[in-house]
Each structure stands twice: as C-alpha cells, then as structure tokens.
Structure 1
Amino acid sequence: MYRLGLDVGGTKIEAVVIDKNNHVIFQKRISTPTDAYSSFLSSLISFISQIQMELSEPFTIGIGLPGAISPDTGKIKNCNCLILNGEDLKSDLSLAFDQPIYIANDADCFTLSEAMDGAGSNHTTVFGVIIGTGCGGGITMNRQLLSGPNAIAGEWGHNILPQYSESKDGTEQLCYCGRENCIERYISGTGFAVRYNQKYSSDLKAIDIIEKMRSGDKSAVEHYELLVDMCARSLASVINILDPHVIVLGGGLSNVDELYEDIPKVIGQYVFSDVCNTQIVKAKFGDSSGVRGACWLPEMHQAKH
C-alpha cells in the first residue's frame, strides 16, 4: 500500500506519496487556507480526494502540523496555525475518508523521518530540532517517537532560554504562547532576525544577517556568536536530561553550515560531563523531512500494536 504524508504549514500544505520502497511517486503543494477552519477542512478534503483520483491506489494517511493532539479531547492544541486549535481534525478526516488518520507534531514527523532513514538512522536516541520560523523538537528512541501523557515530548522551544541575562542576551522577548523569553524567540530564524533588527534598527532577514557575518561585518559577527552561545545553552539543557546520541538540525538556520563547527566548540561548558559526545548534524532530507515523516506515522503506529 502507498503512504500519503501531508505537511501542514502556515502558508502551504505539501503532499508526498511514497511506495513500499520509500520512493516518492507523487508530490504537490497547495496554499493553506487560514481564514476559517471550515475552509481549511474543505480544501484539505478536496486535496486528498484529488490525490486519490490521480493515483487510483489505496494509501494510508499521515499528517504533520505545527501543534499537537490533546490526549484528553482529541482536538488540536498549541498550533501556531490558529484556526486549527480546538478542532477535531482527526475525526473530521476519518469520517470523510472512512479510514484511520494519523496526526503528529511537525517536529515529531521531522525527527521520525531522520531517525528512520536520514541523518539519525544509525543512532539509538535522536533529538530532532527545527530552527526555522519557530523552534520545535521531537524525540525518537529505537525509531519510535517518544510520547507522553501531555503530548508535548520534545517541545524545548517553549522553555525559557537557559541562563538568560538582559545584559548579554538583549531585551526580553514576548512569545506567541504568552510567556516571555522562550527559546523560540531567540534561536529560531525569526527570533534571530527580529532581535538583530530591534538592536540595529534594520529590516533584514536571517539569511542577510548570515551573509553580513560571512563578510566580516562586526555587528553581524557578534550577533551570530551570541546565537551560537544561545544554541549551545539550549541544546546542553536537552543533553543534560535526555543524553541523545545525535541531534539533527532542520529548518532555515540548519543550512548555516558554520553552526556544525561552532556549536560543538561552545557546548561543552554547559553540559554536565567532562566530554560531550553527542553529535550535532544536518538533516539529510532538509525541508522534505517533515512530510516524509508524516508518511511513516501509520507504519510506526502499527509497529507499536
């Protein structure tokens, strides 16, 4: 049977279908309706139906989205695509297609993909990190997603930035979750750019600041070095609790190759050990990891049972 994976984002919904040999046989994107849940649901049902007609073969359905399913209600929570919060997308789609629907956080899907056959496939414990528009995380052990009673495993981005100091880290940052100084507001691509623009009264994107850093611009170099230190502090807090074999980075900032050399130089001072053997590596499948991980969700669930 084929496997359909859907990656729901704030601006687009990507679909990928893979066969039993893990080869991509279909790929397409549509815009994400954000005006109302009814529009979103109608568009998603139509999208999946179109794929059914094009392939004429049955497939499982897995979905990754920037939120989680509440264990108590079955409804979506903590989603930065706000129209989905409080909605029972799983039941609505199951009813529409008369088959099981598997939904997980997009960072969980990213981690699952990299653990199954990506950059973390040779490691027992994988911590997957997305540092892009936001800052998410997921955990796999023996190629199984770690999940708990609150459905928030890996949500490191909404812990407070470790050892935050206004004199060192800049002014306090309010997060969309309602808390202040979440890691997400500092080391995501968005947070990285926002803090630079606040300080230097500019309007640059993260990639522009990185290019200025590479050209030797003093303000950009200092801002980048602070990013490295913040990443080291934040990842060290995970290592001190989970002690993963590998940390796989995805999202826009994961394409900054300098991070894989610079973070390991700094992280040791924050890890409660005489050495830090945890590898920090770049995702093998890049932006495609999330949707590929969604394809794996039904198979992982069936393996559990």
Structure 2
Amino acid sequence: MILALDIGGSFIKAAWSSAPGSLAPLGRVATPSRSLDAFIAALAELAAAAPARPKALAISLTGVVDRDSGRLTCANIPALHQTILAPALEAALGLPALIANDADCFALAEAAEGAGRGRHVVFGVILGSGVGGGLVSGGRLVNSAGGFAGEWGHGAFLPAVAGDPPVLIPAFECGCGREGCLNTVGGARGLEALHRHLHGKEADSHAILSAWEAADVAAGRTVDIYSDLVARLLALAINITGAEIAPVGGGLANSEKLLSNIDRKTKPGVLGVSHRPLVVRAQCGPDAGLIGAAALGWSEGAYERNSAGSVRG
C-alpha cells in the first residue's frame, strides 16, 4: 500500500492506494509551514490513520526538487524550503519517499486516469495564475529524478508581435528573474496584464473571458492575442516532446471555449496532421494531486524500495 499525499501551502490531503488506479481518501490536515518537526509529525499521523502500514510515501508538492542534490525549493512552505526532504522523511518514518512537483503529478494523473489515458506521451498544461506543466512518457515522468521538464512557461522566447492586426508585445518581467517569459502573459494574471496593455483598462480574467464570450470587441481582441501567444509556444512544446495530447488544468481551463480557441490556433504549428483535439480540458479535477502522487509511487516502484535505495525526485 502507498500513502499518497498532496501537500499545499494551506492543507495536506491524504489517501491510500492498494493498487494502481485505486485511491481511498484519508482526509486532510493543516500544513505545518514553520516547523519541519511538526510537518513530519503530521505525516506520521496520516500514515498511522491508514488501514495498514504503508510501504512508501508518494508526495505531490508545491515545489521543485533539485535533480543533483535532492534539495527542495518550496517558498510557500518555509519549513521545507532548502531541505533535503526525502531522506529526512525516510529517517523519521522508516518509509521510502518519492516527491514530485504538483504540476508533474497533475500530468501523471491525466496520463493515468484522465484525458491522456491510453496516450504514450502526455504534456500536462497548467493555465492558472501562471503557466506550468509536466511531461509523461510511457506512464512515467520524464524527470522522475527531479528537475524542470515540462516548465514551458519560462524562457525569454515570447513573440514580440502577435494578433491580427499585429501588435507589439512588451517583454514583461517574470517572477523567475527573466523578461519575456510566456508566464508573464499566459496565466490569469498575464491575461489581465495583456488586457491592460492593449486597452488601458483593469479587468480580472473572469470578466475578460465573460465579456469575450458575450462578443465584446475589446475582450475579443485580448483573447485573440492571448490565444495566439499561448498556441505558438504550445505548438513548439508539442513538436519538441512529441506529445499526443495536452490536457489543461488551472482556472483558465474552466473556459471550454478558450481551450477550443487555443487548440484551433495550436494545430497549424504542430508537425503532422491531427483530426482530434490536442488541447483539451483535464479530467481529474481537485484530486489530481493525490491521483498523480499515487501514480508516481506505483510507476517508480516506491513500494519495493527501502530507505537506502529511495528515489529523491
């Protein structure tokens, strides 16, 4: 049995999995964000609540594990930031531990049980407050040992011109320290920044999309340019990875019309011909983190490892 954990800045959700594809909830607790000892104690309590002693922990976490050192970058949970977490958990709980970024676990969930089921290469896309992603091939994460595979939202490659008629797109500063990342225009905050740049007006992403669906001209211009920018770089990501489908999660994925628009603009840039949608709404919903964590544990064989042979990623 694997104990699956979806760890966010506010809450830890837990479930146990007795076999691939099975998941039974164990509830949730507040995330102890300031004390590593309290954090480990909370996980120990969740493990004790399982119907049998788990053979491994599989964790979806809002952070990134360095591939070489195993050190965790997790700014919104200070107790975990810059720790080498997997060995610490293994030493304290006596269980092997696997840790993956929440976007990676989202991609795993969609590949195993969601819109990407039956596809060999799945590129999971997050269009939330920002842009993220994860890449799965043959049912396994490409970066199962940690790292940044699938993070297509970063890199100074945003097109300088987009739309019809064309308009200049400024190289907005990104939180990663670069300028011109897709992340600066591709998420909800980016959509709002783009609307402000084009029209000099403040509006939140929900209002922009609602106005667009009601045939508002200004909102239509914003969404057309937004979709053009996202689609160009998504087509590049699909060509590089060979992805057969791109399930989309995050708040902006709630607009089926927006995803259809992005899909229509993405296909001309993709090598080969596809008569089915490439860009689709994700199916796993709020349980994607738990589903993906469990899939991580089974795909990486965590249940067969002891703490001396665990995987850090």
Could you say which TM-score interval applies, normalised by the shorter chain? 0.7 to 0.9
What secondary structure, in the 3-state scheme, does the structure 1 residue paired with 2:301 have? helix
Q: Which residues of 2 match residues 58-207 of structure 1 at below 5 A?
A: 58-59=53-54, 60-77=56-73, 79-81=74-76, 83=78, 84-147=80-143, 151-165=147-161, 168=167, 170-197=169-196, 204-207=203-206
Aligned to 1:218: 217
What residue ranges of structure 2 are gaps of 5+ in the alignment?
306-313
Which structure is higher in helix share?
Answer: 1
Aligned to 2:46: 51
Distance 2:209 2:260 in 1: 15
Whether the aligned pair in 2 keeps the contact of 1:187 and 1:231 (CA below 8 Å) is yes
Once the 2 structures are TM-superposed, how far is the Cα of residue 169 of structure 1 from its aligned partner? 5.5
Distance 1:194 1:13 in 2: 32
What secondary structure, in the 3-state scheme, does the structure 2 residue paired with 1:157 have? coil
Whether the aligned pair in 2 keeps the contact of 1:162 and 1:233 (CA below 8 Å) is no
Distance change (3 Å), C-alpha of 1:22 and 1:123: closer
Distance 1:123 1:108 in 2: 16
Whether the aligned pair in 1 keeps the contact of 2:62 and 2:102 (CA below 8 Å) is yes
Deviates more, 1:166-175 or 1:221-230: 166-175
Q: Partner letter of residue 128 of structure 1?
A: G
Given candidates 273, 280, 298, the residue that maps to 1:275 is 273
Deviates more, 1:53-62 or 1:118-127: 53-62
Distance 2:72 2:222 in 1: 36
Identity across the alignment (%): 31
Distance 1:203 1:10 in 2: 29
Distance 1:254 1:155 in 2: 17
| Number of residue pairs the alignment of both structures matches | 298
Aligned to 1:8: 7
Deviations 1:76-96 (A, max 9, x none): 13x453734421111221122
Distance 1:23 1:301 in 2: 16
Distance change (3 Å), C-alpha of 1:198 and 1:114: same
Distance change (3 Å), C-alpha of 1:244 and 1:172: same
Q: Partner letter of residue 204 of structure 2?
A: K
What residue ranges of structure 1 are gaps of 5+ in the alignment?
none
What secondary structure, in the 3-state scheme, does the structure 2 residue paired with 1:237 have? helix
Q: Partner letter of residue 48 of structure 2?
A: M
Whether the aligned pair in 1 keeps the contact of 2:102 and 2:289 (CA below 8 Å) is yes
What secondary structure, in the 3-state scheme, does the structure 1 residue paired with 2:49 have? helix
Distance 1:288 1:150 in 2: 22
Q: Partner letter of residue 46 of structure 2?
A: I
**So what's the TM-score if we normalise by structure 2?**
0.84
Whether the aligned pair in 2 keeps the contact of 1:169 and 1:226 (CA below 8 Å) is no
Distance change (3 Å), C-alpha of 1:86 and 1:124: same
Once the 2 structures are TM-superposed, how far is the Cα of residue 19 of structure 1 from its aligned partner? 3.6
**So what's the TM-score if we normalise by structure 1?**
0.86
Alignment root-mean-square deviation, CA: 2.8
Whether the aligned pair in 2 keeps the contact of 1:161 and 1:230 (CA below 8 Å) is no
Once the 2 structures are TM-superposed, how far is the Cα of residue 197 of structure 1 from its aligned partner? 4.6
Once the 2 structures are TM-superposed, how far is the Cα of residue 111 of structure 1 from its aligned partner? 1.0
Whether the aligned pair in 1 keeps the contact of 2:15 and 2:290 (CA below 8 Å) is yes
Q: Partner letter of residue 116 of structure 1?
A: A
